[in-house]
Amino acid sequence: AKSRMTLEHLLTMQSGLEWNEMELPYDDERNDLIRLFLVPDPIEYILAKPLVAQPGTVWYYNGGNTNLLGEVIRQATGQRMDAFAAEYLFAPLGITDYEWDHINAETIHASGNLQLRPRDMAKFGVLYLNGGEWNGQPLVSQTWVEASTQLHATPRGGGGYGYQWWLRTYDFGSEEVMAFFAAGWGGQRISVFPSLDMLVVSTGGNYVAEDPVDEIITRFILPAVR
């Protein structure tokens, strides 16, 4: 059954692999994401997980899916994900001050802990806001941008999920406005509002409590724009 798993299933968090990341805190060694840093071969650890659902049928937030995508990049290009990103994404965007997290010497932590300046986070939002163009030049195909930010899965807590982007609507007066966003732990967020030609970048350290980003957007930013 694993042979039916596709890149799209990994991108949309619908691999169907058994995974425990959201029920246990990240300081618990039983958390499957933390296990990646403790086992000899993290990719083998992910791939050895049994299927608990047919691929493409059930959404579950699984950092293992994203780390498999990082390995796919390495296998397909011959470059580790950080080197590939540096050449084809960061350099064209003028991003020079960053730091990747490593699971081990050969494996980049693809699912988290990338450190970027807020202004460089914003560049990703601008790239997607402009349909994949940067300074008038195509960097990511518009087809990919559109596909990435469409609804492909519905998380258990509501909202929507695209290709590693979250989707949601916000109240905007008597109407609603759609946004897609990249969300990191603690309040790191790149929120893109295509219909408003706007993006919002936030950082935070709310690692043990709910982050207030949605409240800030709803109570302050959108009313100011309206």
What does the pLDDT look like over 173-215, one tens digit per residue?
A: 889 999 999 999 999 999 999 999 999 999 999 988 889 999 9
Q: How confident is the model at residue 216 (pLDDT cuts 50, 70, 90)?
A: very high
In the prediction, which pLDDT does 9 show? 98
In the prediction, which pLDDT does 46 show? 98
Q: Indicate if the pLDDT at residue 166 is higher than 90.
A: yes
In the prediction, which pLDDT does 208 show? 86
What does the pLDDT look like over 13-57, one tens digit per residue?
A: 999 999 999 899 889 999 999 999 999 999 999 999 999 999 999
> What are the φ/ψ torsions at residue 176 (nearest 5 degrees)?
-125, 150
Q: How confident is the model at residue 226 (pLDDT cuts 50, 70, 90)?
A: confident
User: How many angstroms separate the first and last alpha carbons of the chain?
Assistant: 50
Model-wide pTM > 0.85:
yes
Q: Is 226 exposed, middle or buried (0-12, 13-18, 19+ CB in 10 A)?
A: exposed
What does the pLDDT look like over 110-140, one tens digit per residue?
A: 999 999 999 999 999 999 999 999 999 999 9
DSSP character at residue 102: B
Handedness of CA 58, 59, 64, 65 (dihedral sign): positive
Please, how many CA atoms are within 13 Å of residue 30, restricted to the half-sphere of its CB?
5
What does the pLDDT look like over 69-118, one tens digit per residue?
A: 999 999 999 999 999 999 999 999 999 999 999 999 999 999 999 999 99
In the prediction, which pLDDT does 107 show? 95
DSSP character at residue 50: P
Q: Indicate if the pLDDT at residue 141 is higher than 90.
A: yes
Q: How confident is the model at residue 156 (pLDDT cuts 50, 70, 90)?
A: confident
